[in-house]
Amino acid sequence: NWESVGGVGNDQTMDEALGLIADAVKSARALKLDSTLSVTLQRAVGDNQLTFAVQVPPGGATEPVAPTLGRRSSVQFGQAHVVGVEPSEARARAMAGSPGLGGRSNTELDALAIGGQMVGDRRVSGLSESGAADEVNRLIAEIERLKRKALSRGVNLTSHHEDVPAEDVTRLRAVFALADTTGAGYINVNELQALHQPLGEPLTDDEAQDAFRRIDVNQSGDISFDDFLAWFTLAHSRSGILSKKGQAYNRRFKKLMARIEGAFDLKNLSVSSTGQEGTLEYRVNFHYNDNGVLKRISPWHDIPLYAQDGNLHFICEVPKWSRKKFEIATGEEFNPIKQDTKNGKLREYNHGDMLFNYGAFPQTWEDPKHKTDVGEKELHKGDNDPIDGVEVGTLQLRSGSVTKVKVLGVLAMIDDHETDWKVFCISVEDPYAPRINSIDDLDRIFPNMVPTVREWFRIYKTADGKPENKFGFGERALDREFALNTIDQTHQFWKSLTLSGQKTV
């Protein structure tokens, strides 16, 4: 009964398949064998079949030899297939860019055979009982690398499991163009990580490095669109040969693609007002033209935080050079913009007109249950509002307008023991936007902007007899990366808030 472990189909994960062969090797080693025992595993890959084999020598006490790719039958990948040739010959072909990788019909890919010989760049010796699964993993990874290489060089993979729809290719080009900020045709790991952040699927440094390694099969430090397409084709096929980490990143990437596919178009957004401005009844309402149907929406919940092009959406509440205290009504249905009140009276900023366009970022929320360390002894809870934005461009925005902005940095303001983040940003339509991409750029081009904004927020409440506000982190304006991470954290708080369907606070 130990002669084969067969029939591992697509309905079983590769981890289960590897577990079978590892268990078989372990069980075989516990036996006292009179002759060599072969353990084989057959794995369906797309429309085809891959066979692995491990041999356990007589006696059971010595190490079994490494898994060997079956040499008597080819392993078919659409039109490209792997046949048994010596590893040295395979490596020579790979290095020389042989016709075996550039052709388009029944092409021999670089084959590999293992058994105390070379696998890619690694020398493999005999296996311990715990090493069988590792070697099979390496074998699978090498086959995946060769298959990617064939795809990137034009081999036509005709299996329906490997097809990439034309619309996916179009979206992939859009994704790649977003990451390729220099237009060089290549992106590095930092650009890949930067792409995920504004599109709502941020990666940690380790996740970014791991994802990049999976795409950068040549280990060049840069990936082209062909590399990107080759990775996508394999990662989203149904052959099931990727590791758990690979599968996890693929799920993240699918979410990113979905954001681009279902992009929110500002051209379909409109606003209308009800009531008379300057009265308690005045409201600015938001509507979206959804395939010809005009729907009322919430600016807080229904306008996405992240725009398709990687920028963020900013909702202007108080235009620069004005002082009426307009804000998103987080406690009302559909969250229109209204003028704030106190004791039944409309409120204004008595300190004076705003020096900037003031507003909020949609789909964010400063959770009052979360306490933040801003470099002081006391931890400060969130203020129960969307995170605030300070748009520092030269143009006046109107109340209720939604604008794409570039995030520059952030101040950690403390208002009555609550954190009240102030995010510096600039409209992408502003004449200065091409020159300002960071808080350092802002300091260089407008040297007094940050200190002026900070002082405005420090003292504006004193006109109403209240104490000055404070600032954390030594009153510094923190950089773009910190700001984006802070915004994303409040985005996650918003997700938690709305998970149960809650729309008002």
CATH classification at residue 185: 1.10.238.10
Q: Classify residue 188: in a domain, yes or no.
A: yes
Inform me whether the pLDDT recorded for 123 exceeds 50.
no
Give the residues across from 44 on adjacent strands: 49
Look up tokens 């993979």; give the residue. Answer: 157
Expressed as residue numbers, the domain containing 357 is 302-498
Q: In terms of domains, do 358 and 490 share one?
A: yes
Length of the chain: 505
**Number of neighbouring beta carbons within 10 Å of residue 434:** 9
Model pLDDT, residue 225 = 80
Q: Classify residue 289: in a domain, yes or no.
A: no
Express each pLDDT in 439-469 by its tens digit.
999 999 999 999 999 999 999 999 999 999 9
Give the residues across from 56 on adjacent strands: 37
Model pLDDT, residue 186 = 86
Q: Classify residue 288: in a domain, yes or no.
A: no
Last residue of a domain, one of 93, 123, 152: 152
Q: In terms of domains, do 344 and 440 share one?
A: yes
Q: In terms of domains, do 316 and 175 share one?
A: no
Model pLDDT, residue 101 = 29
Q: Classify residue 295: in a domain, yes or no.
A: no
**Contact (CB, 8 A) for 52 and 139:** yes
Number of domains forming the structure of the chain: 3
**Contact (CB, 8 A) for 388 and 420:** yes
Q: Out of 147-151, 248-252, 417-421, give the one with best mean pLDDT.
A: 417-421
Inform me whether the pLDDT recorded for 109 exceeds 50.
no
Q: In terms of domains, do 219 and 84 share one?
A: no
Question: What gap in Å lies between CA 114 and CA 65, rounded to an integer?
Answer: 9
The structure tokens listed for 105 are 């019909």
Model pLDDT, residue 82 = 31
Question: What gap in Å lies between CA 331 and CA 328, rounded to an integer?
Answer: 9
> Which residue would you say has higher pLDDT here, 401 or 239?
401
Q: Classify residue 504: in a domain, yes or no.
A: no
Distances (CA, A) of 30 to 17, 59, 63, 65: 21, 9, 12, 16
Q: In terms of domains, do 10 and 92 share one?
A: yes
Q: Classify residue 354: in a domain, yes or no.
A: yes
Q: Classify residue 271: in a domain, yes or no.
A: no
Q: In terms of domains, do 491 and 447 share one?
A: yes
CA dihedral 331, 332, 335, 337 (to 10 degrees): -90
Model pLDDT, residue 443 = 97
Last residue of a domain, one of 102, 126, 152: 152
Any idea what the CATH number is for the domain that residue 322 is in?
A: 3.90.80.10
Q: In terms of domains, do 317 and 419 share one?
A: yes
- Calculate mean pLDDT across residues 493-502: 90
Question: What gap in Å lies between CA 326 and CA 271, rounded to an integer?
Answer: 15
Inform me whether the pLDDT recorded for 354 exceeds 80.
yes
Q: Which of 261-275, 310-324, 442-456 has the lowest mean pLDDT?
A: 261-275
- Calculate mean pLDDT across residues 410-427: 96
Q: In terms of domains, do 310 and 415 share one?
A: yes
Q: Classify residue 146: in a domain, yes or no.
A: yes
Q: In terms of domains, do 312 and 455 share one?
A: yes
Buried b (16+ CB within 10 A) or exposed e, 351-361: eeebebbbbbb
Inform me whether the pLDDT recorded for 257 exceeds 70.
no
Last residue of a domain, one of 211, 244, 261: 261
Q: Out of 113-127, 219-233, 304-318, give the one with best mean pLDDT.
A: 304-318
Q: In terms of domains, do 341 and 469 share one?
A: yes
Q: In terms of domains, do 92 and 17 share one?
A: yes
Is residue 404 helix, strand or coil? strand
Q: In terms of domains, do 113 and 174 share one?
A: no
Inform me whether the pLDDT recorded for 10 exceeds 50.
no
Inform me whether the pLDDT recorded for 134 exceeds 90.
no
